[in-house]
Structure 1
Amino acid sequence: MHSQSVSEITLAYIGGGSLNWAQVLMADLVHDRTVAGEIRLFDLNLEAAQRNAAIGNRLSEAHGLSIRYTASETIASALTGVDFVVVSILPGSFDDMAKDLELPEAEGIIQAVGDTVGPGGLVRAMRAIPAMAEIAEAIRKYAPKAYVCNLTNPMSVLTGALYAAFPDIRAWGECHEVTKLRHIIAWLANRAEGAIRYGFRDVQVNVLGINHFTWVDRAFVGGRDWLPDYLNFAAENRENGWRAKPLDPNDEFQRYFEDINRVKFDLASRFGIAAAAGDRHLAEFLPASWYLNRASEWGFGLTPVDWRRRDQAKRREDARLAETGNEVPPLRTVSEEALVGQIRALTRGETLVVNANMPNIGQMQGFAPGTVVETNVLFSGHGVRPIHAGRLPAAVEALVKPHAERQNTVLQAVLAGDGATLEGLFLSDPLVAPLGQDRAAKLFRAMVAATAARLPEKLRRLSA
């Protein structure tokens, strides 16, 4: 049972008008009940931040919390003197994201998500890195001692951008994708027990890789390592996939965001190590002929921007009612996000071990220092410290390492305004290279032109 003592914090939420993640944090704080203080919401859309502040305050009042939500008009007023910063921004707009998917698709390049690697991931990084560097500079100026959690994709390069702009920043990138594997391990352990004894939080996994291309070589729960059992289970279900509960064909969210673990099981069977992220993310790091070109056969969806728009419109209407309605805003169920647990650990002297993205200082062998890698990280009263994870098997490292090196170069090139390097990276991307040089170069210029208004002047010229 949690202690009833309460930690008083001040937290700045950059992107505080969010219709999803900001409200997830509000609900998780209500469920946790051990955090008090002020949450400052900053957003380029001030009205959206003000709406969320009203919703947050109504929730706090209804549930007896002493958390105050305010909307900040400037990033300076949001950040000054805070203990924590959360960064959750949309790099560009859904129209930009649509172009990230549609222009490559017209050339035969399929992307399931398009926010991390591939042509969509690279162009999104071009939009987002300059903005993240500006945020880091503001943190350096107004909150240099704050702990900073980045929730924004592309996770690796944007977490790297924070450190590139402010090397002494105390930041990590937070992603929930590894949770998918932990759920399966807990299910296996419960099946063996004949009763539900474990949840995913009881499962401790050793994580290696980069964001959305993560792997696990140990998985402990109930006092033993379940990885051998998982590998056997993956081999048994390699052909048809598996879910603890079948996908609901009428549920659009499940259709576009969930999967039957068939990619994970296939990779586990090939390489003898568990691939951890969701199938739609894993597939984008690999040749299109492996999975992407046969996504429906492999049991994962391609997330359309049109669905995101419809979902955003629904969330906006729900938020309007939550802000102005007579009833208490509905409380979301507790999420599977780690952020509140991380805040608890850092402020209360508790310890939490969970996967996070941080620059490599030796926690992962085989990757250059400074490369943003995803491993386990210890959160405690002593701060945020990556845990030694070891090394990927050689065959898997040969798949992961080139992406990590590309991400390092993308970050450096965007910050330097080095268009020639960015075009070369685009042309050599594993999903783009089959087009050939001329078609790939034409696609690159078209994608830059489509998002030019979001780019710094040096990069905007690449569309010429």
Structure 2
Amino acid sequence: MSFKTAIIGAGSVGFTKKLFTDILCVPEFKDIEFALTDISEHNLGMIQAILDRIVEANGLPTKVTATTDRRKALEGARYIISCVRVGGLEAYADDIRIPLKYGIDQCVGDTICAGGILYGQRNIPVILDFCKDIREVAETDAKFLNYANPMAMNTWAAIEYGKVDTVGLCHGVQHGAEQIAEVLGAKSPRELDYVCSGINHQTWFIELRLNGRAIGKDELVAAFEAHPVYSKQEKLRIDVLKRFGVYSTESNGHLSEYLPWYRKRPDEITRWIDMSDWIHGETGGYLRYSTETRNWFETEYPQFLEAASKPIDPAKRSNEHASHILEALETNRVYRGHFNVKNNGVITNLPQDAIIESPGFVDRFGINTAAGITLPEACAATCMSSINVQRMSVHAAIAGDIDLLKLAMLHDPLVGAVSTPEEVWQMVDEMVVAQAAWLPQYADAVPAAKERLAKSKVKTREWAGAARRNVRSIEELRAEKAGLKQAG
């Protein structure tokens, strides 16, 4: 087989390498072309060298090109994968820093909450540019695979306004299923059969079977509470399981941001999180992790390049959806996964226009999502709160409507639990002014926002958050990795 796959934001080096090797685990795909594109020539150069090394080491005819000219990369592409982070770590730092001045403590801040909403405002204009290029220069009916957050907002914009065949992809469901299989004592995650449905980062395991035996709430609660690690790392998630009756896909830190109950007071934050790893609730945890990862890669790049000389091992193919979708579409080998698509009746008690994440099957006829799923009422209510914020956020981003943006922020569950309307209005002004370079649709609104900020009497505070850690140096990371290796 021969076709072209373009990766936008290919400078996300580790993830690009994973997608690349996963796709090349499919024997029929050895002759395809990968077109890498990014705004950073430096990052493009690094990832192209790594992928070229993989191709050479495995004696493959695979073609790899790299260019900062996005349209050139998309020309004739059948599949387009997006891994972009618009604004990079600089804008992301403001997504965490500015809300902290108003008492809003986020662990990740990339889905909803204050950071996720602004992240969507930066991404959506760029997503629409991608879609325009796809319509104009890619293969007819090319498929757009979006991995970038905020997943639901990006996918919503691409489908509704970009008019491109789009699916959103995430790995939260797979990771949650692996946890459940482990606590239940399964020898392999394959022993667990499940139905998981909802919206991205708020998907719910509404049906569980282990080797054909139904697993109920009480058994699952007992299994998690007995686990020596998860009982400490997932306290909030287990509490939600007890109250809702079903387990959420999202980690302790992620889930805590989408609810109004666990992060609204500093003492509550420290009660529910775990500091053994960023993902369990640390203030700005993902920002710290992302910064350390980028610094580590830049410093240790020769080691990454050397590791690329190893043979590709199909047994180590990851559970990221992209390669399996391409394989199913091209070879007709059926794949079952969980996909972010427009609802259109798939989940009966969520809005038709919402982007939902739910089970489906892929074959040569496309992605077909199983319809007629009804969520437990508490799960649907929680999803609805986020969907309303997502809808307003998408519409605000499309129109450049700062007033609607403020209303979206006001209705965010965690923001609303922490901040007053006056604080929300000022915080949005401050974030839009700080990130104006990445928000072209708000250019006309920035001067007035600056004037309001100059006259504002709303008090803020300099606060690092309830559980902040400093970014570790390369030397500290080396010492930690050496210690883990020695302990292992």
TM range (shorter): 0.7 to 0.9
Residue matched to 2:219? 232
Alignment of 1:110-259 (within 5 A): 110-143=105-138, 144-167=140-163, 169-188=164-183, 190-191=185-186, 196=187, 198-199=188-189, 201-226=190-215, 228=216, 231-235=218-222, 237-238=224-225, 242-243=228-229
* Worse overlay, 133-142 or 430-439: 430-439
1:392 to 354, 371, 375: 375
Residue matched to 1:9? 3
Q: Given the superposition, is the C-alpha separation of residues 241 and 118 from structure 1 closer, same or farther in structure 2, using an over 3 Å criterion?
A: farther
Q: Given the superposition, is the C-alpha separation of residues 92 and 38 from structure 1 closer, same or farther in structure 2, using an over 3 Å criterion?
A: same
Residue matched to 1:256? none
Letter in 2 for 1:147: K
User: What is the rounded CA distance, in whole Å, between the counterparts of 2:21 and 2:175 in structure 1?
Assistant: 21
Residue 123 of structure 1: CA displacement? 0.9
Residue 320 of structure 1: CA displacement? 5.1
Q: Given the superposition, is the C-alpha separation of residues 386 and 290 from structure 1 closer, same or farther in structure 2, using an over 3 Å criterion?
A: same
User: What is the rounded CA distance, in whole Å, between the counterparts of 1:66 and 1:205 in structure 2?
Assistant: 39
Q: Given the superposition, is the C-alpha separation of residues 357 and 186 from structure 1 closer, same or farther in structure 2, using an over 3 Å criterion?
A: same
1:112 partner SS: coil
Residue 220 of structure 1: CA displacement? 3.4
Residue matched to 1:253? none
Residue matched to 1:98? 93
User: What is the rounded CA distance, in whole Å, between the counterparts of 2:183 and 2:103 in structure 1?
Assistant: 39
Residue matched to 1:67? 62
Letter in 2 for 1:225: A
Runs of 4+ in 1 over 6 A off after TM superposition: 329-332
**5+ long unaligned stretches in structure 2:** 275-279, 451-488
Q: Given the superposition, is the C-alpha separation of residues 408 and 222 from structure 1 closer, same or farther in structure 2, using an over 3 Å criterion?
A: same
Q: Is the 8 A contact 2:399 2:441 kept in 1?
A: no
Q: Is the 8 A contact 2:57 2:311 kept in 1?
A: no
User: What is the rounded CA distance, in whole Å, between the counterparts of 1:59 and 1:443 in structure 2?
Assistant: 46
Q: Given the superposition, is the C-alpha separation of residues 208 and 322 from structure 1 closer, same or farther in structure 2, using an over 3 Å criterion?
A: closer
1:220 partner SS: strand
Residue 388 of structure 1: CA displacement? 1.6
Q: Given the superposition, is the C-alpha separation of residues 203 and 164 from structure 1 closer, same or farther in structure 2, using an over 3 Å criterion?
A: same
User: What is the rounded CA distance, in whole Å, between the counterparts of 2:260 and 2:374 in structure 1?
Assistant: 23
1:330-361 deviations in whole A, cap 9, x for unaligned?
Answer: 97954331211111111110111111111111
Q: Is the 8 A contact 2:81 2:144 kept in 1?
A: yes
Percent identity, aligned pairs only, is 25
How many residue pairs were aligned?
Answer: 434
Q: Normalization by structure 1: what TM-score?
A: 0.86
1:4-44 deviations in whole A, cap 9, x for unaligned?
Answer: xxx43310001122222111112323545442211000111
Residue 106 of structure 1: CA displacement? 2.3
Q: Is the 8 A contact 2:112 2:389 kept in 1?
A: no
**5+ long unaligned stretches in structure 1:** 1-6, 247-258
User: What is the rounded CA distance, in whole Å, between the counterparts of 1:231 and 1:358 in structure 2?
Assistant: 32
1:414-441 deviations in whole A, cap 9, x for unaligned?
Answer: 1011111111221232222232122221
Q: Is the 8 A contact 2:262 2:269 kept in 1?
A: no
Letter in 2 for 1:64: G
Residue 183 of structure 1: CA displacement? 0.9
User: What is the rounded CA distance, in whole Å, between the counterparts of 2:382 and 2:304 in structure 1?
Assistant: 46
Residue matched to 1:278? 251
Alignment of 1:435-450 (within 5 A): 435-450=419-434
Q: Please tell me whether residue 88 in structure 1 is matched to residue 73 in structure 2.
A: no
* Worse overlay, 212-221 or 37-46: 212-221
1:215 partner SS: strand
1:28 to 22, 32, 35: 22
User: What is the rounded CA distance, in whole Å, between the counterparts of 2:355 and 2:332 in structure 1?
Assistant: 26
Q: Is the 8 A contact 2:40 2:68 kept in 1?
A: no
Residue matched to 1:46? 41
Provide the aligned C-alpha RMSD in A: 2.5
Residue 50 of structure 1: CA displacement? 3.2
Letter in 1 for 2:255: L
